Chains A and B, each alone.
Chain A
């Protein structure tokens, strides 16, 4: 019974891992295969002559290098702005009582902007950006992604701030610090794991975002990786190799960042679950 149970457990884990990793393995191998080997029957699982031609095509003859830069720029900038504004808003909502219970209503109102489908705002946003002459600029995407991530940051950080005892910042203020100083020197260091976890989620959302990037960008100056990759599906054919090569590169920055803040990520997500 016991062995059977353990075996079953590993079977399920293996199944989950294969389901999650098989597409990624497929993508990585395709990016290194000659076109002729990509859809060979039977499939060439492990042994095939490798090539870098798709990487060369994606990043040397096509503009994936530029897309990569655009994606990085937009994701990092929008994450920084969302964290900056959202953290301050979250602190205020967590600490100050507004008349008529406005603090709680405001928080819910902020969250409600995430409740409708994104496509609803795509057209109005396009029109607004057109009138502001921001269509096809990175700034447009930074603004939209910042707005998109703000509710998430506010709600995450509000929870983290609520975990910090008020006594600490009151002590800091009586000790001679301003409220902002108390926030900066005492409260923020304590919610740093939460901030890291929130930040990486913003980064992932902005990095993967497709819809608004598709609507708001047209050329290489602003186009991000997801749109660029999808653009390789044309009426003349699908560039599987170049798409895969670009996709492999696209997952590297997020993977690297996630690994580097993994320690914070786990602590941030479980913050408050365990007292200490």
Chain B
């Protein structure tokens, strides 16, 4: 089913949290709402679920306006950041809950709970209570409870944020696999751009309640619509230069654009330990060995930028280096509006 947000706004006590947001989410699509905390992504999700009333604008599910529909009538399933498992019920009862309130008969409930538990490999946990489970197990139960009734859409609010790094990676892959299997429309909220890049068919980047860009992950990475997206997406984000540095940089890169903010991704900054013709001198501020690569923090004219160098690159602090950027890898943004040129 499709979800359409039409000029959706929400304000709490006069201050806007979501500001004129329009999105079209197609049937079976996995859309990620990405943004820093306080950007309105969770509020948007809660409005889709019906837990929060929209101040203005429309929410359409399958082209039907659902603004005034109570959450229980929207037939969407939500996975909460806290998992929100019912502590007084066993895992089996937790998963069966959506079916029980729908008054399915006992056999059907048992069958569906068993099938879902098998899908998430939690059959062994069915008799336990939530407090006896690990974080990853709770996560699976929360997913099972969402999946069991075959809802029209999944809404997920930072579901992986409470897991440790290793488990998060594993669950991320499983989530992706699961969504491919079920092909259920999914709206996924996160502040983690790696999750957004890997999971989403399309990513909606939000900032201060406003939609910044809504596109395929690669497009967002390669052609950010504005400075905010450029700096937020990517790990680490895009480098920006002061005017002076930019001018010399442009000259060396033989680019013609002027009067614009100039940015470049860290992986497109080349570093040399020996001086080369036309390269800019810089100093190493600090370098961080990541294992497969090195993040080199550089200083040029009191400005810090980050470059990603091969794993064998070694440089102590204060070492002089020379950098070069390719003209076709530069991004230009309007100085006033921040929009991509």
Interface centre among B76, B80, B86 (most CB of A within 10 A): B86
Residues of B within 8 A of A165 (CB): 82, 84
Q: Which residue of B lies closest to A189 (CB)?
A: B88
Residues from 164 to 204 in A contacting B, C-beta threshold 8 Å: 165, 167-168, 170-178, 181, 185-186, 189-190
Q: Complex: how many Å from CA A174 to CA B50?
A: 8
Say whether A174 contacts B71, CB under 8 Å. Answer: yes
Say whether B82 contacts A175, CB under 8 Å. Answer: no
A186 CB to closest chain B CB (Å) equals 6
Say whether B80 contacts A167, CB under 8 Å. Answer: yes
Q: Which of B71, B87, B97, B131 lies in contact with A170, CB distance below 8 A?
A: B71
Say whether A171 contacts B101, CB under 8 Å. Answer: no
Residues of B within 8 A of A177 (CB): 72, 97, 101
Interface centre among B70, B77, B87 (most CB of A within 10 A): B87
B77-110 interface mask toward A, CB cutoff 8 Å, 1 = contact, 0 = none?
1101010101110000000011001100000000
Q: Which of B72, B97, B102 lies in contact with A178, CB distance below 8 A?
A: B72
Say whether A175 contacts B88, CB under 8 Å. Answer: no
Say whether A170 contacts B72, CB under 8 Å. Answer: no
Q: Does B149 contact A (CB under 8 A)?
A: yes
Say whether B82 contacts A174, CB under 8 Å. Answer: no
Residues from 93 to 145 in B contacting A, C-beta threshold 8 Å: 97-98, 101-102, 131, 145
Q: Complex: how many Å from CA A185 to CA B93?
A: 11
Q: Which residue of B lies closest to A186 (CB)?
A: B86
Q: Which residue of A lies closest to B88 (CB)?
A: A189
Residues of A within 8 A of B131 (CB): 276
B220 CB to closest chain A CB (Å) equals 29
CB within 8 Å for A176 and B78 given contacts A168-B84, A181-B101: no
Q: Complex: how many Å from CA A168 to CA B84?
A: 5
B45-82 interface mask toward A, CB cutoff 8 Å, 1 = contact, 0 = none?
00001110000000000000000001110111110101
Q: Complex: how many Å from CA A176 to CA B155?
A: 14
CB within 8 Å for A176 and B86 given contacts A170-B51, A170-B80, A171-B80: no
B61 CB to closest chain A CB (Å) equals 13
Q: Which residue of B lies closest to A167 (CB)?
A: B84
Say whether A174 contacts B87, CB under 8 Å. Answer: no
Say whether B77 contacts A174, CB under 8 Å. Answer: yes
Residues of B within 8 A of A178 (CB): 70, 72
Say whether A167 contacts B82, CB under 8 Å. Answer: yes
Say whether B71 contacts A173, CB under 8 Å. Answer: yes
Say whether B149 contacts A176, CB under 8 Å. Answer: yes
B322 CB to closest chain A CB (Å) equals 54
Residues of A within 8 A of B84 (CB): 165, 167-168, 170-171
Residues of A within 8 A of B82 (CB): 165, 167
Q: Which residue of A lies closest to B46 (CB)?
A: A170
Residues of A within 8 A of B75 (CB): 176
CB within 8 Å for A190 and B88 given contacts A173-B70, A175-B101: yes
Q: Complex: how many Å from CA A181 to CA B72?
A: 11
CB within 8 Å for A175 and B51 given contacts A167-B84, A189-B88: no
Q: Which residue of B lies closest to A164 (CB)?
A: B87
Say whether A174 contacts B78, CB under 8 Å. Answer: yes
Residues of B within 8 A of A189 (CB): 88
Q: Which residue of B lies closest to A177 (CB)?
A: B101
B118 CB to closest chain A CB (Å) equals 21
Q: Complex: how many Å from CA A173 to CA B70?
A: 8
CB within 8 Å for A174 and B49 given contacts A167-B80, A190-B87, A190-B88: yes
Interface centre among B82, B98, B101, B102 (most CB of A within 10 A): B101
CB within 8 Å for A174 and B76 given contacts A167-B82, A189-B88, A190-B87: yes
Residues of A within 8 A of B78 (CB): 170-171, 174
Say whether A176 contacts B98, CB under 8 Å. Answer: yes
Say whether B51 contacts A172, CB under 8 Å. Answer: no
Residues of B within 8 A of A276 (CB): 131
Q: Complex: how many Å from CA A189 to CA B16?
A: 37
Say whether A168 contacts B86, CB under 8 Å. Answer: yes
Residues of A within 8 A of B97 (CB): 172, 175, 177, 185
Q: Complex: how many Å from CA A32 to CA B305?
A: 93
Q: Complex: how many Å from CA A174 to CA B76?
A: 7
Residues of B within 8 A of A173 (CB): 50-51, 70-72
Residues from 240 to 267 in B contacting A, C-beta threshold 8 Å: none
Say whether A175 contacts B80, CB under 8 Å. Answer: no
Q: Which residue of B lies closest to A190 (CB)?
A: B88
Going nearest first, the 6 A-B pairs with the smallest beta carbon separation are A171-B84, A167-B84, A175-B98, A174-B78, A173-B71, A177-B101
Q: Which residues of chain A have a CB within 8 Å of any CB of chain B?
A: 165, 167-168, 170-178, 181, 185-186, 189-190, 276
Q: List 29 A-B contacts (CB under 8 A).
A: A167-B80, A167-B82, A167-B84, A168-B86, A170-B71, A171-B78, A171-B84, A171-B145, A172-B101, A173-B70, A174-B49, A174-B50, A174-B71, A174-B72, A174-B74, A174-B78, A175-B101, A175-B145, A176-B75, A176-B98, A176-B102, A177-B101, A178-B72, A181-B101, A185-B97, A185-B101, A186-B86, A190-B88, A276-B131
